[in-house]
């Protein structure tokens, strides 16, 4: 774990969200050539002093070949009893490293530059790992983030999921998001969210496919100081372009 976190930080890295995973997703480690994706990720905190805080992320991405993926992202946030505001615009890319045969593990590198509209810019990198076999799919993203303010340390986090196809196009499983401290203090005693998820894919929607993911993540560790959990909804429309 320390080696992997160190590898990610060397590749560059942004500061952890107050609520890990709010409006975020777990990335896979493969790229589909020629596929364009339009996505919306929504997360809302429930219970506790931050109940009602939410994040909506709108993303457009394209797989340029079997290794390279690029995207632009718009992040809108709303504080409890506040109005929704555009907080940041980001560009991101993924470079697929391929499959490591003995382990059946795909790996990829992720990089993102975020332009803060109400604060400093950020840089984020992730080491993406994915194991898919038959009906089973598991993913781990090791995250390093750096706020470009000249004083904030690199902060680490993770996103993970595992799910099974239990019926045609229906997948059930779980997801988790959390913080792992910073270069000043690596720790697991921080904010975490984890809980069940369900995914379903509708084929032949127009010229593409529509994927839906719903879930509820329970607050764990220090996250319980702010909320009871977070409700999640992800929509993804894929088509060839």
Whole-structure pTM value: 0.90
Per-residue confidence (pLDDT) for residue 3, from 0 to 100: 41
> Is 172 a residue whose pLDDT tops 70?
yes
Per-residue confidence (pLDDT) for residue 184, from 0 to 100: 86
Task: Of 8-22, 142-156, 193-207, give the lowest mean pLDDT range.
Answer: 8-22
> What is the rounded average pLDDT of the residues 141-166?
95
Q: Do 146 and 126 meet the contact criterion of CB atoms below 8 Å apart?
A: no
Per-residue confidence (pLDDT) for residue 18, from 0 to 100: 57
Task: Indicate the average pLDDT of the chain.
Answer: 91
Per-residue confidence (pLDDT) for residue 238, from 0 to 100: 97
Task: Determine the distance from the C-alpha atom of residue 227 to the mean position of all C-alpha atoms in its chain, rounded to a whole number.
Answer: 20
Per-residue confidence (pLDDT) for residue 136, from 0 to 100: 96
> Is 104 a residue whose pLDDT tops 90?
no
pLDDT band at 12 (very low <50, low <70, confident <90, very high): very low
pLDDT digits (tens, 9 = 90+) for 42-74: 999 999 999 999 999 999 999 999 999 999 999
Per-residue confidence (pLDDT) for residue 100, from 0 to 100: 87
Per-residue confidence (pLDDT) for residue 8, from 0 to 100: 41
pLDDT digits (tens, 9 = 90+) for 68-96: 999 999 999 999 888 899 999 999 999 99
């Amino acid at each position: 774990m320390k080696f992997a976190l160190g590898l990610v930080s060397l590749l560059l890295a942004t500061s952890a969200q107050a609520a890990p995973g709010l409006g975020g997703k777990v990335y896979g480690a493969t790229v589909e050539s020629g596929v364009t994706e339009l996505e919306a990720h929504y997360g809302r905190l429930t219970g506790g002093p931050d109940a009602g805080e939410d994040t909506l992320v709108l993303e457009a991405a394209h797989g340029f070949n079997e290794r390279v993926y690029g995207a632009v992202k718009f992040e809108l946030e709303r504080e409890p009893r506040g109005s929704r505001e555009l907080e940041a615009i980001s560009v991101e890319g993924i470079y697929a490293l391929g499959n490591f045969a003995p382990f059946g593990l795909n790996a990829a590198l992720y990089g993102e530059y975020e332009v803060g509209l109400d604060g400093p810019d950020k840089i984020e990198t992730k080491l993406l790992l994915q194991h898919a076999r038959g009906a089973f799919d598991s993913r781990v993203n090791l995250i390093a983030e750096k706020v470009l303010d000249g004083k904030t340390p690199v902060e680490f986090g993770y996103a993970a999921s595992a799910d099974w196809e239990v019926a045609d196009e229906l997948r059930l499983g779980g997801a988790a998001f959390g913080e792992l401290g910073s270069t000043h203090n690596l720790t697991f005693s921080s904010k975490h969210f984890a809980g069940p998820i369900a995914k379903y894919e509708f084929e032949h929607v127009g010229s593409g496919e529509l994927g839906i993911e719903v879930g509820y993540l329970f607050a764990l560790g220090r996250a319980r100081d702010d909320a009871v959990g977070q409700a999640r909804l992800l929509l993804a429309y894929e088509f060839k372009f």
